Amino acid sequence: MSRFTIPTDIQSTPEESHAILEGIHKQLGSVPNIYRLVAQSPAALKGFMDQAGALAKGKLSPKIREGISLAIGQLNDCHYCLSAHSFISTQLLKTDKAEVEANRKADSHDPKTKAALQFAVKVAENKGRVAEKELIKLRDIGFCDAEIIEIIQNVTLNIWTNYLNNVAETPIDFPEVK
């Protein structure tokens, strides 16, 4: 049970959140609990959606972004986010289950993805203080500075959603993973 009241429908949220939630409903066919939770603060919802939308148009592939979400979700023990991003990875991106499990451990069959995930976890574990050799590894495998910046931004976005869902104990409305 959530420690926050989660509105049951769009109309139960502040009017300023309605348009964003209606867009989510149109895209997904429903409005997952995290969005209805965040919608109680229209400013937080707008910031969340703006940041996620901007990153979706960035240089990183959807599979790397979802891999970061899985690795950071695992690091922060966020069952809601692990369930949501496992679903997105397997159902929408058609990532095989073995790769999803590897991503949770900051691993991948793809060397470039593996490097991104390992760097992402180091950023989170060390509060952004990473050794120069970590940046060199990323550049040597083919990441440019813009992509490295986006890896870091994906880390921070996922830390926020992990912390929010852990604090709220958001009920999982995706197929649950452990």
- Averaged pLDDT for residues 60-78: 99
pLDDT of residue 22: 98
> Any idea what DSSP says for residue 53?
H
pLDDT of residue 98: 98
pLDDT of residue 85: 98
Within 10 angstroms of residue 129's Cβ, the number of other Cβ atoms is 8
User: Rounded to whole angstroms, how far apart are CA atoms 64 and 85?
Assistant: 12
pLDDT of residue 178: 81
Helix (H, G, I), strand (E, B) or coil at 132: helix
- Averaged pLDDT for residues 126-148: 98
pLDDT of residue 161: 99
pLDDT digit string, tens, across residues 75-129? 999 999 999 999 999 999 999 999 999 999 999 999 999 999 999 999 999 999 9
Per-residue pLDDT at 1 exceeds 90: no
Q: Which amino acid is at 16?
A: E
Per-residue pLDDT at 2 exceeds 90: no
Q: Which of 93, 64, 90, 95 is closest to 158 using CA atoms?
A: 64
Domains in the chain, ordered, with CATH? 10-56 (1.20.5), 62-168 (1.20.1290.10)
pTM, two decimals, is 0.96
pLDDT band at 35 (very low <50, low <70, confident <90, very high): very high
